Amino acid sequence: MILIVGLGNPGEEFTNTRHNLGFIVLDDFQKEKEFSSWREKKKLFSQIAEGKIGREKVVLAKPQTFMNNSGRAVRALLDRYKIKPDNLWVIHDELSLPFGELKISEKKGPAGHKGVQSIIEKIKTKDFFRLRIGASTEATKDKTKKEVVLKRFNAAEKILSEKIVKLASQVLVVAVLKGKEKAMNEFN
């Protein structure tokens, strides 16, 4: 079983922002792959959807704890489903990457991402798979981190974000069916 967690913030004011790229990818993936409808699981601090890719059972989760406390939800999910961290995949925005670029990594530190830091602290390891989605543009260079990640997409960025969301879904399918290394070789 694989747990795929998309990081973001709950609430309408965060919809279509860079910080919610993890949620956006999972929403698209859940529909495209015909997973179950999203269900609120208060004890897991998350919305979850379940399905299969090939023969592999997959749980999708969108923590409802707000970004900086994502680890609380991830810890509860790992415990509930008895999943080891090497079967945890986290999708999140990344300010050190240009908007629209994807980077797959594993066993890396948080690089300043508070949601990832929270996960590492709660599960006591950085040995998990990450799909990092670039959030930085020329227009965001002189802005604070908060201004960048909470900014809504403009029209051109919205079009690019839709393409990157589809590509992220492809990465997830390849990683599940053919392995993480194959996904890294094909998409990095």
- Give catalytic residues, as residue numbers: 19
- CA dist., res. 159 & res. 71, Å (int): 31
CA atoms of 34 and 50, how far apart (whole Å):
9
Which amino acid type is present at position 16?
Answer: N
With residues binned 3-state (H G I as helix, E B as strand, rest as coil), the percentages for the chain, rounded to 5, are 45, 25, 25
DSSP, residue by residue, 98-137: ETT-EEEEES---TT-HHHHHHHHHHT---SEEEEEEEE-
